[in-house]
Amino acid sequence: MNFRHIGDIADLVWPWLRRYWWTGPLLVFICNLFIDIMEVDASQYAMISMEMLQTGSFLQVYEQGYDYLDKPPLLFWLSSASMAVFGVNNFAYKFPSFLFALLAIFSTYKFAMVYYSRQTSLLAALVLATSQAMFMITNDVRTDTILMGATAFSFWRIAVYLRKRTINNLLLISIGIGAGMLVKGPVALVYPVLAFGFEFLSKRQWKNILNPHWLIAAAGIAVILLPMCYGLYMQFDMHPDKIVYDLKGPSGLRFYFWTQSFGRITGEIYWKNNAGFLFFVQSILWDFQPWVLFLIPALAHRLFRLIRQGITASPENITLGGFCLMFFAFSLSSYKLPHYIFILFPAAAVMTADFMVRASERFLKPLSYLHLATMTLLYVLMVTGLLWFFPFKNGAVNWVFTLLVFGCYIGLITLWRFLQGSGRRIITAAAVTAVLFNLFMALHFYPNLLKYQAPANAARYLISQKADVKSVCKYEARSSAMDFYFGNIIPNLNPEDILPKAGTHFWIYTDEICRQDLLDKGLKPLQEVVFKGYSVSLVSLPFLDPSTRESRLKRYYLLLI
């Protein structure tokens, strides 16, 4: 074998990888658009968007006919508009968030270009695009995809405004921050204020702090928020007699501007999950793969440089200050979920890219070997998924795909071995592995996992039976996924509402305990259809293991009476 020749091939492949790296993540994002929506949050938001489209109630938000007081309405507005064009389906719900994911990547690149080289900026975009978090939020779409895109855009436009001082940029800042606040609340304003405030204070830029032109941006944000505030006031503040989520007469405006965000720190809100202070330290180890091995020293290096060399040693302290201050604030919350910190990942990508470009070969070389070991584990997970978790029914097909994964791994090792420089090796191993792993997740793992989402399967069965919405109900089995995939809100009825109608034909969706309760009350179904289900967003090893999976499944029923 001519090793020199292989090395030449590797050097030829590198420019192609550098130029067309974006095609891999984009392919995964597009595949994610067509995967079923998972319960609980994503299916809830999809169902609310569908209900908004059907009722035409855009300023006052409802969930299955009841007052909804949680997330701001931008996700629902955009997804319902998309459904009006593309129909009620997976693609329509996810498409607006997909566009904001692309905006987040592009804005990260443009923000970095204000302060760093094009090499660093491209690498920052690649780091964000191939992070596990980005693949997750283009599949399991919640509010965080839009939030990330809106805040990354606002960071970029603030950075440009500080250089050019134009009114147009102030208006664009208003749009970015306003959109973020319309999808997740005040965090979209607090984050840039903390990040750029840290920059201004650390570098004693008093003119930037006292700049009266910020009032123009504030006015623009207020105008953008006005429709939502009007809707909240009319739905809640005008009706102090309402009881919503066991709260008597809640103020919609106070909930939005204070309780939902800051109440998690002060303890005013009743949502608590007892996640420890270090919860996000643990979650980021997976969510920022395959780059977390470089984010940790990047943060340490930034902090060390800040202490030893002074504030002005870095071209910007925005990413460091914003990341650390918001990470600490999120850690104080009484209710934590991993995706809450995804808003910080554009800043993490910039710091990681800057560190990798600056780091010496002596420092990167040992890290590159450790990094390759962690990438190897992802290939092991792919093979495990093919041969153990969700094998194909045809054993030969399993081995064909397993050999294909093994061939990809050998090809990567060969390319990694002959590429010149640890930086190139790390980038290649990370980007290629992240794309292959998430293609496997999108094309094989998630489609097999979502076969166990019983409500969606029940809804599709009802459609196949041409069941009318008036002939279907639920009994103690609330499910937003069933409503969404059936295309209508299915009422949840009590036994006394069901049994008197036994003379007509209609379907009842319920679980095993409630089915037995109905049978004990004298219900005699004409037909029973059984669906095996699992909470697909809470995957566990006993479920993934085929030998113990059956014991983890719950049974749900469609009863025809």
Q: Is the pLDDT of residue 427 over 60?
A: yes
DSSP 470: G
Task: Report the C-alpha gap between 299 and 308 in whole angstroms.
Answer: 14
Prior bond of 141 cis (ω within 30°): no
Tokens of 167: 């009114």
d(CA 259, CA 248): 15
Nearest to 484 by CA among 67, 144, 77, 83: 83
Would you place residue 1 in the very low, low, confident or very high pLDDT band (cuts 50, 70, 90)?
very low
CA pair distance 49, 61, nearest whole angstrom: 9
Res 331: pLDDT? 87
Q: Per-residue pLDDT for 549 more than 60? A: yes
**Contacts of 22-27 spanning 24+ positions with Cβ under 8 A:** 22/125, 22/126, 22/129, 24/130, 24/431, 24/432, 24/434, 24/435, 25/105, 25/129, 25/130, 25/134, 25/135, 25/434, 25/435, 27/435, 27/439
Element at 88 (helix H, strand E): none
Q: Give the model confidence (pLDDT) of 176-222 as tens digits.
A: 999 999 999 999 999 999 999 999 998 889 999 999 999 999 999 99
> What pLDDT shows up at residue 498?
62
Main-chain dihedrals φ then ψ at residue 63, nearest 5 degrees: -125, 110
**481 — pLDDT class (breaks 50, 70, 90):** very high
What would the 3-class secondary structure string for 1-16 be? CCHHHHHHHHHHHHHH
Give the rounded percent of residues in the chain with a pLDDT score beyond 70: 93
Map residue 500 onto helix, strand or coil.
Answer: helix
Looking at the predicted structure, is the pLDDT value of residue 232 above 80?
Answer: yes
Q: What is the pLDDT of residue 521?
A: 81
Angle, in degrees to the nearest 10, between helices 90-115 and 144-164: 30
What is the tens place of the pLDDT at every residue in 131-173?
999 999 999 999 999 999 999 999 999 999 999 999 999 999 9
Amino acid at 178: G
Whether residue 432 is predicted with pLDDT greater than 50 in this model: the reply is: yes
For the four alpha carbons of 336, 340, 342 and 343, in that order, the dihedral sign comes to negative
The first and second tokens of residue 131, run together, are: 């992070």
Give the 3-state secondary structure of 196-235.
HHHHHHHCCCHHHHCCCCHHHHHHHHHHHHHHHHHHHHHH
Please give the torsion angle defined by the CA atoms of residues 382, 387, 389 and 394, in that order, rounded to the nearest 10 degrees: 120
